[in-house]
């Protein structure tokens, strides 16, 4: 098929479609490299203990985010959601972990070990979150699915992943429609049994509709000859990694070795 | 091509949807099927391709009586069913993959499947959608792409479930022109007067579980 244009010479077509956006360095990387990099980075950050290593990791993650030219406003908003979730844990840790007491505000002991653990968790979570946003967040989901498939992830999992992405939006629309229908008949969440029964009905109905939709999708698949085996159209074969991918791979390996060697 | 003989069907035993229904789709025929909501029009289409099985009666398709799931796998390749809701039908990430899904299942090679994708999309004037992500298409584009996905299997007959439903004027016109140009036998479930005028060679109405 010579008709497949040269525009999709590397990576997925979706990446090619984004080429017009003045490609950031991260966007030029093969999706597979990005997945591998994300896994290696996350592994290293989870294993690292010292606060200085974790601070460097956070710095690297922020560097990646700059290289990926992430929209900072949106990224900050996503991070805030994470911080909100962690805040409770982090605020409690210094008081609950036993150890050398630094201070005793209001009679509760504030331990040095707890403080250290809280700092570790905060650095770790943020470094991983920022790096994932930079490496994978800007990747089209379809391209991510393909990259996983090419890296040898089980095809059932890849398809499950792609189906989930495909239908979450549809379910959300269905939820939105039902919710709108409730509001149109003057439903307002409030205390009392009525509210809870209505919400129960809402989610029950959502479940029933999802099940029915799943049956219809199954029927549609069978109508097109599906007998339980997925065939991938992606026939570009495993392309060789480009110079950029090799370069980034070598650089990050060297950096990891340095971190381990220096025992940071 | 497809014949239903004295077919009875019920989702709940107390309320049969179809009662001893006879229907025959002949080569080159375009039958428009209408009837009240819930009369069982969609069920008739689903029976033809074995998505539901009759309580009693026979289904003869493409020269053989069909009973088991294995029998119907062959029927579904020859009688393409277009679903009412395109969201049910487009489940692959991209348009190209979705259109290729049927041919790949039929055992075509990837290169052949790609050729079919190109040809089918070009025939419907949808080339520019090839690499698009299916859930980001507009309603009209989804309908046309799901038709392409059905046609990619090179069926001999089309079963269309309310094909013009919820389409704008321009897309409706485009779809009707495409359908009118196809040399395939069709069963079209529709309430749309224009569909009847443009396509029908015969009209039947489903009332109380039987055809009139």
Secondary structure (DSSP) of A21-43: GT--HHHHS-HHHHHHHHHHHHH
Q: What is the pLDDT of residue A264?
A: 53
pLDDT tens, residue by residue, B37-96: 888 999 999 999 999 999 999 999 999 999 998 889 889 989 999 998 888 888 888 899
User: Are residues A3 and B118, on separate chains, in Cβ contact within 8 Å?
Assistant: yes
pLDDT tens, residue by residue, A37-95: 888 888 888 888 888 888 888 988 898 888 888 888 888 888 888 888 888 888 888 77
Q: Which residues of B touch A (CB under 8 A)?
A: 46, 49, 51, 73, 76-77, 80-81, 83, 85, 87-89, 91-94, 96-97, 100-102, 104-106, 110-111, 113-115, 117-118, 131, 133-135, 149-150, 153
Q: CB of A241 within 8 A of CB of A35?
A: no
Q: CB of A69 within 8 A of CB of A24?
A: yes
Question: Which range (A9-23, A89-103, A149-163, A192-206) has the least confidence?
Answer: A9-23
B101 CB neighbours in chain A (<8 A) are 221, 224, 226, 231
Report the sign of the C-alpha dihedral through residues A96, A98, A99, A104, in that order.
positive
What is the domain-level CATH number for residue B29? 3.40.50.300
- Enclosing H/E stretch for A47: helix A31-47
CA B72 to CA A109: how far, in whole Å?
73
- Domain extent, residue B180, equals 2-211
Confidence of residue A6 (pLDDT cuts 50, 70, 90): very low
Q: CB of A90 within 8 A of CB of A97?
A: no
What single string gives the DSSP state of each residue in A70-139? --HHHHHHHHHHHHHHHHHHHHHHHHHS-S-EEE-GGG--EEHHHHHHHHHHHHHHHHHHHHHIIIIITS
Confidence of residue A262 (pLDDT cuts 50, 70, 90): low
Residue of chain B whose alpha carbon sits nearest to that of A219: B51
Q: What is the pLDDT of residue A236?
A: 55
Residue of chain B whose alpha carbon sits nearest to that of A14: B131
Answer yes or no: is pLDDT of A104 > 80. Answer: no
B57: helix, strand or coil: strand
- Enclosing H/E stretch for B111: helix B110-123
pLDDT tens, residue by residue, B100-124: 999 988 888 889 999 999 999 999 9
Task: Give residues with Cβ within 8 angstroms of A43, minimum separation 6.
Answer: none
Answer yes or no: is pLDDT of B195 > 70. Answer: yes
Q: Reading across the β-sheet that carries B64-65, which strands appear in turn?
A: B15-25, B2-12, B56-61, B64-65
CA A162 to CA B92: how far, in whole Å?
8
User: Are residues A225 and B110, on separate chains, in Cβ contact within 8 Å?
Assistant: no
Burial A4-34 (b: 16+ CB within 10 A, else e): beeeeebbbbbbbebeeeeebebbbbbbbbb
- Enclosing H/E stretch for B7: strand B2-12
CA A206 to CA B58: how far, in whole Å?
37
CA A17 to CA B136: how far, in whole Å?
14
A169–chain B Cβ distance below 8 A for any pair: yes
Burial B40-72 (b: 16+ CB within 10 A, else e): bbbbbbbbbbbbbebeebebebeeeebeeeeeb
Per-residue pLDDT averaged across B148-173, rounded? 93
Q: What are the residue ranges spanned by the domains of chain A? A: 6-149+243-262, 154-223
A4–chain B Cβ distance below 8 A for any pair: yes
Please count the structural domains in chain B: 1
Q: CB of B91 within 8 A of CB of A217?
A: yes
- Enclosing H/E stretch for B151: helix B139-151
CA A28 to CA A244: how far, in whole Å?
8
Q: What is the pLDDT of residue B162?
A: 93
Q: What is the pLDDT of residue B124?
A: 93
B88 closest CB neighbour out of A169, A216, A231: A216
Q: How many residues does chain B have?
A: 212
Q: Any idea of the CA torsion for A5, B146, B68, B189, to the nearest 10 degrees?
A: -160
């Amino acid at each position: 098929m010579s008709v497949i244009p040269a525009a999709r010479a590397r990576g997925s077509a979706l990446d090619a479609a984004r080429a017009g956006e003045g490609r950031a360095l991260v966007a030029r990387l093969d999706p597979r490299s990005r997945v591998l990099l994300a896994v290696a980075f996350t592994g290293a950050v989870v294993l690292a203990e010292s606060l200085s290593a974790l601070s460097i990791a956070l710095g690297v993650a922020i560097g990646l985010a700059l290289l990926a030219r992430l929209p900072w406003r949106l990224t900050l908003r996503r991070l805030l959601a994470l911080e909100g979730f962690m805040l409770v844990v982090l605020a409690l840790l210094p008081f609950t972990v036993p150890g050398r007491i630094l201070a005793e505000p209001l009679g509760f002991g504030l331990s040095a070990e707890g403080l250290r653990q809280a700092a570790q968790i905060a650095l770790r979570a943020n470094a991983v979150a920022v790096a994932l946003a930079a490496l994978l967040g800007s990747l089209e989901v379809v391209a991510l699915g393909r990259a996983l498939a090419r890296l040898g992830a089980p095809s059932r999992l890849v398809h499950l992943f792609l189906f989930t992405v495909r239908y979450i939006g549809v379910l959300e629309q269905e939820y939105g429609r039902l919710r709108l229908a409730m509001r149109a008949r003057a439903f307002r969440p409030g205390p009392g049994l009525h509210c809870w029964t209505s919400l129960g009905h809402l989610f029950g109905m959502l479940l029933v509709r999802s099940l029915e939709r799943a049956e219809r999708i199954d029927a549609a698949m069978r109508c097109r000859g599906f007998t339980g085996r997925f065939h991938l159209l992606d026939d570009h074969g495993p392309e060789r990694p480009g110079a950029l991918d090799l370069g980034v791979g070598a650089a990050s390996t060297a950096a990891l070795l340095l971190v381990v060697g220096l025992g940071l | 091509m497809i014949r239903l003989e004295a077919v009875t069907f019920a989702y709940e035993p107390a309320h049969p949807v179809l009662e001893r229904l006879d229907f025959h789709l002949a080569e080159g025929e375009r039958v428009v099927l209408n009837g009240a909501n819930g009369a069982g029009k969609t069920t008739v289409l689903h029976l033809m391709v074995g998505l539901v099985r009759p309580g009693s009666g026979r289904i003869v398709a493409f020269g053989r009586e069909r009973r088991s799931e294995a029998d119907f796998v062959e029927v579904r390749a020859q009688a393409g069913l277009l679903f009412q809701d395109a969201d049910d039908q487009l489940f692959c990430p991209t348009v190209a993959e979705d259109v290729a899904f049927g041919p790949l299942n039929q055992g075509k090679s990837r290169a052949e499947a790609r050729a079919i994708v190109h040809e089918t999309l070009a025939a419907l004037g949808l080339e520019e959608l090839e690499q698009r992500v299916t859930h980001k298409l507009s309603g009209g584009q989804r309908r046309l792409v799901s038709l392409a996905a059905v046609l990619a299997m090179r069926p001999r007959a089309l079963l269309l479930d309310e094909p013009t439903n919820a389409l704008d004027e321009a897309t409706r016109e485009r779809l009707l022109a495409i359908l009118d140009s196809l040399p395939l036998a069709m069963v079209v479930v529709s309430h749309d007067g224009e569909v009847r005028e443009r396509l029908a060679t015969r009209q039947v109405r489903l009332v109380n579980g039987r055809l009139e």
